[in-house]
C-alpha cells in the first residue's frame, strides 16, 4: 500500500507488472500513454527489458518508442526504468516522456528561422508604404491608396502572427495527456459554423453528409481548428458558386473526416510539400486570399499529435479532397 501511494505521487507513468506480464497497477499517466491493452503491455521493447530484469534481477534502463495511435507517423520516445521488486517476482516500470523537451527545442529553433524570414515581407511592405504616405501627404488620392494597402498588409501581419501563435501552442502541447471524449459530428458542425461567413462572401455552398459519427479522444479546440483550417482552405481555393462538402466514414475503429472542394487542384509534384510550414502552392493566390502558408502545417501537427494521419487527393481544375483519419474512442470492455 505504501508503494502504491508513493507511485501515485510521482510525476510520469508507473506500472507494476506481475508474472505473465500483466499490469496489476497502472497510474493515470500510464493509461494515457496507450502502452496497455486489456492490462497487457503492447511494446515488444519494454517486454524484452522486463524479461531481462526477471532473469537477472538487475535494474534496466533505456529508451523505447511508442506510437501515438494505431495509424500515422506520431511517435513518443520514452525513457524507461525497469526495477525488480522482491515480492512475488513483481517488476516496477517507470516511464518518462523527457524527449519531448528536446524535440520542442529543435522545433522552436527551426521555427524562429522560418518566422524571421516570413515576417520580413509584411513588415518591409508597411515600412515602404508609410514612407509613401509621408511623401504623398499633399495628394489625398495617393494617401487613400497607400493607406488602403497598409490596412491589407497590417491584416496579413496580424493573421500571420495569430497563426504562428497557434502553431507554437500546438507544437508545445500534448493533447492526449488530458484528452476529452469528443463527438466528431459536434467538431465538424462547430468548424462549419466558423466558416459560413467566409463561404457566403465567396458564394461557396457548404454541405455536411453526416453518415457516420463516433467519439474520439483529444483537445476540442485543436481538432476544431484542424477541420476549420481544411474547410477554410477549400473555400479560398474554390471558384464562386461551387460546393465544399464535409463527410465522414468509419472502418476498423478509424474515423475519416473528408473535406472536398471543386477548386483549382494541386499539381502532383506539389502534394508532398503542402504540409510544410510556410509552403504555398500558388503564392499569388495566397496573397489574394490572405493565406499565411501555415494552415495545413497546423492541421498536420494536430492530427499527428492525436495519433492520426492526413492525406490528400487532388487533380488540377477538378478539385481536392483532404482526409483526416483518427482512432475512435473504444468504450471500456469493448477492446479486442
Domains located in the chain, CATH noted: 2-97 (3.30.450.20), 98-172 (1.10.287.130), 176-336 (3.30.565.10)
Nearest to 306 by CA among 232, 207, 215, 234: 215
For 14-70, what is each residue's pLDDT tens digit?
A: 888 888 888 888 887 777 777 887 778 888 888 888 888 888 888 988 888 887 777
Per-residue model confidence as pLDDT tens for the chain (336 residues): 556 666 665 667 888 888 888 888 888 777 777 788 777 888 888 888 888 888 888 898 888 888 777 787 777 778 889 999 876 688 888 888 765 555 556 556 655 655 655 566 667 777 777 888 778 877 888 888 878 878 777 777 776 677 667 666 676 677 877 788 999 999 999 999 999 998 998 899 999 988 788 999 999 989 999 999 999 989 988 899 999 999 999 999 999 999 999 988 888 777 777 887 656 555 444 444 445 567 788 899 899 989 899 999 988 888 999 999 999 987 665 555
Which cell goes with 172? 508545445
Using CA atoms, how far residue 152 sits from 126, 132, 287, in Å, is 10, 15, 10
The reported pLDDT for the residue numbered 267 is: 81
From the centroid of its chain, how far is CA 157?
23
Which cell goes with 72? 500515422
Q: Residue 26: how many CB atoms within 10 A of its CB? A: 21
Amino acid at each position: 500500500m505504501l508503494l502504491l501511494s508513493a507511485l501515485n505521487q510521482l510525476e510520469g507513468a508507473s506500472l507494476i507488472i506481475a508474472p505473465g506480464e500483466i499490469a496489476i497497477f497502472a497510474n493515470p499517466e500510464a493509461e494515457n500513454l496507450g502502452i496497455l491493452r486489456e492490462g497487457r503491455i503492447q511494446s515488444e521493447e519494454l517486454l524484452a527489458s522486463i524479461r531481462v530484469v526477471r532473469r537477472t534481477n538487475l535494474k534496466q534502463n533505456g529508451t523505447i518508442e511508442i506510437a501515438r495511435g494505431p495509424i500515422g507517423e506520431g511517435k513518443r520516445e520514452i525513457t524507461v526504468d525497469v526495477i525488480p521488486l522482491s515480492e512475488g517476482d513483481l517488476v516496477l516500470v517507470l516511464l518518462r516522456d523527457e524527449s519531448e523537451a528536446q524535440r520542442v527545442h529543435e522545433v522552436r529553433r527551426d521555427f524562429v528561422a522560418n518566422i524571421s524570414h516570413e515576417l520580413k515581407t509584411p513588415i518591409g511592405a508597411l515600412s515602404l508604404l508609410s514612407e509613401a504616405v509621408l511623401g504623398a501627404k499633399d495628394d489625398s488620392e495617393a494617401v487613400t491608396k497607400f493607406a488602403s494597402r497598409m490596412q491589407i498588409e497590417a491584416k496579413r501581419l496580424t493573421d500571420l502572427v495569430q497563426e504562428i501563435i497557434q502553431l507554437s501552442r500546438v507544437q508545445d502541447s500534448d493533447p492526449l495527456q488530458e484528452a476529452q471524449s469528443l463527438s466528431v459530428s459536434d467538431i465538424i458542425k462547430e468548424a462549419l459554423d466558423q466558416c459560413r461567413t467566409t463561404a457566403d462572401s465567396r458564394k461557396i455552398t457548404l454541405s455536411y453528409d453526416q453518415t457516420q459519427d463516433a467519439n474520439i479522444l483529444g483537445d476540442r479546440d485543436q481538432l476544431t481548428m484542424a477541420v476549420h483550417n481544411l474547410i477554410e482552405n477549400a473555400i479560398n481555393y474554390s471558384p464562386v458558386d461551387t460546393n465544399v462538402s464535409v463527410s465522414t466514414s468509419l472502418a476498423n475503429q478509424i474515423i475519416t473526416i473528408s473535406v472536398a472542394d471543386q477548386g483549382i487542384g494541386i499539381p502532383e509534384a506539389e502534394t508532398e510539400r503542402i504540409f510544410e510550414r510556410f509552403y504555398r502552392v500558388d503564392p499569388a493566390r495566397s496573397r489574394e486570399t490572405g493565406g499565411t502558408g501555415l494552415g495545413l502545417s497546423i492541421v498536420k501537427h494536430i492530427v499527428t499529435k492525436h495519433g492520426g494521419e492526413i492525406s490528400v487527393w487532388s487533380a488540377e481544375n477538378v478539385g481536392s479532397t483532404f482526409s483526416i483519419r483518427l482512432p475512435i474512442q473504444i468504450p471500456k470492455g469493448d477492446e479486442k
